[in-house]
Chain A
Amino acid sequence: LDTLLLARAAPTAGDSVLFEDTSSAAPAMNSQGYYTSGYNMGGPSNDMQGGGGMNNLFADPMANAAMMYGSSLANQGKDMVNKEISRFMSVNKLKYFFAVDTRYVLKKLMILMFPYTHQDWEVRYHRDTPLTPRQDVNASDLYIPTMAFITYILLAGMALGIQKRFSPEVLGLCASTALVWVIIEVLVMLLSLYLLTVHTDLSTFDLIAYSGYKYVGMIFTVLCGLLFGSDGYFVALAWSSFALMFFIVRSLKMKILPSLSSDSMGMGSNAKPQLRLYITVASALFQPIIIYWLTSHLVR
């Protein structure tokens, strides 16, 4: 906000100088012999600013004027884009998911690959807002899924190149296939959570994060398949499938399964824990299937 105010202030300060002091604009224009009358629109008003303000940057005041005009246009464009984007998704919420540091990433990757020794799966809160991933290792983030997705695409290209089946279209196809599966999975999860009126605080970004964690397993599987051949591929597939299933079940259990204490009268809640359990188990079972589907063609 401060930089925006500063940027706004600069042209207006220049404008007030322009409107007041036009007497020196005429000699400035006369001295630049090669400016024709076609530049009258921008010439007289901006020459003064260019000459008086920063004539260290450019010897040519017109380029200076163009630069100031362009920067004010860019600021307006940035404002408009921010306003439009913030109608669809709040950028603050997105920033929360990218507030990670190295220690968190390392611990989270260890938990994803070996979740059996992790004791406490509860997401800690701080006065009703969840803690950022920097402070709580159980919070979900979007940094790891994004990086893992991009790494997976690069690794797929490399694997196909090793088998001499590479072409640039295949890379785009692989990327869009993986992206489409993520979108489908997130939509199915959202639909099932809506239909069963499960009151959770899982937002859409949380679901995208949990969907994206499987790419870490996929990268590990493809690497083992490339290094150790077909046997290594199946061993790594089994290992990462079990680890990921355990991770998903333990994480989602905390968020979906506890029944609400306010209105659980015991009547309608008999079917609910079962159905919620089915959702958790089904989404966990879906992970190894999709891992196998998306990686088997890379490791023949």
Chain B
Amino acid sequence: MAFTLYSLIQAAILCINAVAVLHEERFLRKIGWGVDQSVGGFGDEPGIKVQLMNLIRSVRTVMRVPLIAVNSVCIVLLLLFG
């Protein structure tokens, strides 16, 4: 399995895209992973599910705009160079 750095970047972009397209209302609330369902214990350490929900929410908030730029660049490069 010979990796290059380029394949790592491709895999990372695909994973972040996958996390960014999870829709809040249509999907996450249905399976109980919405942001308003995470208010849990104060003072005690939050569990894995709460951490994961926070991670998904923060990735979606932070990476929306840079992903537009990165995806456009990727599309142009793939069209030009195959």
Contacts and interface: CB of A to CB of B under 8 A. Distances in A.
B48 interface: yes
Contact of B1 (A177, A194, A263): A177
Majority secondary structure, B binding face: loop
Contacts of B48: 195-196
Contact of B3 (A181, A197, A265, A268): A181
Contact of B44 (A173, A183, A194, A268): A268
B32 interface: no
Given A180-B8, A195-B55, A197-B51, A263 B43 contact: yes
Interface residues of A, number: 18
B45 interface: yes
Interface in A251-265: 263, 265
Contact of A194 (B4, B7, B43, B55): B55
Contacts of A263: 43-45
A189 to B, nearest CB: 15
B52 A177 contact: no
Nearest to B12: A187
Interface of A: 173, 176-177, 179-181, 183-184, 194-197, 263, 265, 267-268, 272, 293
Given A180-B5, A183-B8, A197-B46, 11 more contacts: A173-B4, A176-B3, A180-B3, A180-B4, A181-B3, A184-B8, A195-B55, A263-B43, A268-B44, A268-B45, A272-B45
